[in-house]
């Protein structure tokens, strides 16, 4: 009976230790304004490897999207226009697609001809590092790598976004 209790106590202690070790990794990290933007590396469709360090002190507008996402399709034209308007101000727009299908992704790019850099993140690793699980979602990141603005869903106030970027 004593041996049995010791064994059960050991199993309970081991399970509690494992739970304590694993629990912090189960929490979804949500990046919010004021946070340092997570580091990532992507190879864009133009063949450029982009990391936060490659923005060279410029403002980054990071947009998570997918070709199958109707709200993403809805805002894509305006995002294209925004990228064209702000490029001369040193603003970098990077669209990171969650498309699993490379074919669907490329078909979308051929149809919409983005004026900004795009990349595909089919494993969702970059989106997960930001806590993004619904699309579209956009982050404005300042030249120091801090998140200044987070927009969940379709960007509905482009003037506000222009003003935020202009203030940086």
Average pLDDT, the chain: 87
Is 60 exceeded by the pLDDT of residue 23?
no
Between CA 120 and CA 101 the distance in angstroms is 9
Does the residue 44 lie in any domain?
yes
In a domain, 57, yes or no: yes
In this structure, the number of other CB atoms found within 10 A of the CB of residue 86 comes to 19
Q: Would residue 69 count as lying in a domain?
A: yes
Residue 27 has a pLDDT of 52
Has residue 158 been placed in a domain? yes
**Confidence grade of residue 160 (pLDDT, cut at 50, 70, 90):** very high
Total number of domains constituting the chain: 1
pLDDT at residue 31 in the model: 86
> In this predicted structure, what is the pLDDT of residue 132?
92
Any domain includes 6: no
Looking up residue 117, the CATH number of its domain turns out to be 3.40.30.10
Percent of the chain with pLDDT over 70: 89
Q: Is residue 1 part of a domain?
A: no
Q: What is the CA radius of gyration of the chain?
A: 21
Query: Do strands 60-65 and 137-141 pair parallel, antiparallel, or not at all (unpaired)?
Result: antiparallel
Q: Which of 41-55, 71-85, 139-153 has the lowest mean pLDDT?
A: 41-55
Query: Of 26-35, 42-51, 141-150, which range is least confident?
Result: 26-35
Q: What is the pLDDT of residue 163?
A: 92
Which pLDDT band, with edges at 50, 70 and 90, does 109 fall under?
Answer: very high
66 is a domain residue:
yes
Domain that holds residue 68: 30-167
The answer to the question of residue 5 being in a domain is no
């Amino acid at each position: 009976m004593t041996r049995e209790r010791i064994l059960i106590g050991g199993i309970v202690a081991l399970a509690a230790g494992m739970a304590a070790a694993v629990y912090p990794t189960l929490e979804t990290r949500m990046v919010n304004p004021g946070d340092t933007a997570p580091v990532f590396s992507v190879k864009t469709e133009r063949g450029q490897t982009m990391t936060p360090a490659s923005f060279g002190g410029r403002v980054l507008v990071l947009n998570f999207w997918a070709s199958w996402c109707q709200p993403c399709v809805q805002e894509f034209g305006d995002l294209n226009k925004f990228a064209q308007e702000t490029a001369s101000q040193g603003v970098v727009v990077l669209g990171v697609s969650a498309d699993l299908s490379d074919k669907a992704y490329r078909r979308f790019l051929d149809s919409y001809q983005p004026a900004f850099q795009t990349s595909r993140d089919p494993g969702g690793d970059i989106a997960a590092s930001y806590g993004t699980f619904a699309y579209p979602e956009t982050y404005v990141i300042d030249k120091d790598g801090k998140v200044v603005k987070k927009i969940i869903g379709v960007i509905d106030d482009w003037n506000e976004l222009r003003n935020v970027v202009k203030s940086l």
